[in-house]
Amino acid sequence: MKDRKTMAIWGAICALALAVLLLACTGFGAFRLLRGPETVTEGEILEDGAYVSVDLAFVMDVIGVERNASGTETAYYAVSPVGDTFVLVRFPASDAENMRTLEDATDAYLQGQSRTLPFRLGVTGAARNMDEDTAELLARWFNENGSWMSQAGVIAAVEDYGTYLSGIEIDSGYVGGVPAGLAGAAGIAAAVLTVGAVAAFIVAGTGKIDASRKKRGNADG
């Protein structure tokens, strides 16, 4: 009888441990999904690790491409202003059409071919500090394009263009360092494991396992 109780308790403990492990491996992204993203508006500062929603009005340029082992393009790095600074947005390949459409519309607007932009592009994802290579990529692009942007009135003339670089990358579709879908699935699995663990603790604590065994024993007798 006690062995069944002990097994139920240890099973519950293992289930809870697995639930915590699932959440930890996905950066506890499920909790961020439950809270929802922080809406970033003009003038707000992006912080490393935040789960954010940004309404992009411009895509200035696409300056980097990720490819898998077979050479297929999987993601794109685009420069976009957010408030008073410029950030890199990592778009998955599935968002390439919208990204390119806004990039073309931005070019037409800046060249005076259009007086309005057709739409704004909403992006929800993880904000994080850029690594050294990505930061260098953005800095190089800005140094090459800062002069004409200043002359066109896109930015104010400054001695150090670095003041316009936020150092933050927005990884569209990610939360807690993993894809949002994976974080959501891990959250559901963790919830199921937790419910099962609680049920096992309750059953073991109330002695229902022992009672059921005793009842079967009497019936056999």
Round to whole Å and give the CA distance between 91 and 84.
Answer: 21
Specify the pairing of strand 85-92 against strand 165-172: parallel
CA distances, 20 to each of 13, 60, 187, 194 (Å): 11, 41, 10, 9
pLDDT of residue 100: 94
pLDDT of residue 169: 92
Which residues in the chain show pLDDT less than 70? Answer: 1-2, 42-45, 159, 207-221
**C-beta separation of 198 from 12 below 8 A:** yes
Question: What is this structure's pTM?
Answer: 0.79
Round to whole Å and give the CA distance between 72 and 65.
Answer: 10
Q: In the chain, which residue ranges form alpha helices assigned H by DSSP?
A: 2-25, 29-35, 96-110, 132-151, 180-206, 208-220
Round to whole Å and give the CA distance between 19 and 110.
Answer: 51
* Structure confidence by residue, pLDDT tens digits, 161-218: 778 888 889 999 999 889 999 999 999 999 999 998 888 888 777 755 444 454 555 5
pLDDT of residue 208: 55
HSE-up (13 A, CA, CB side) for residue 213:
11
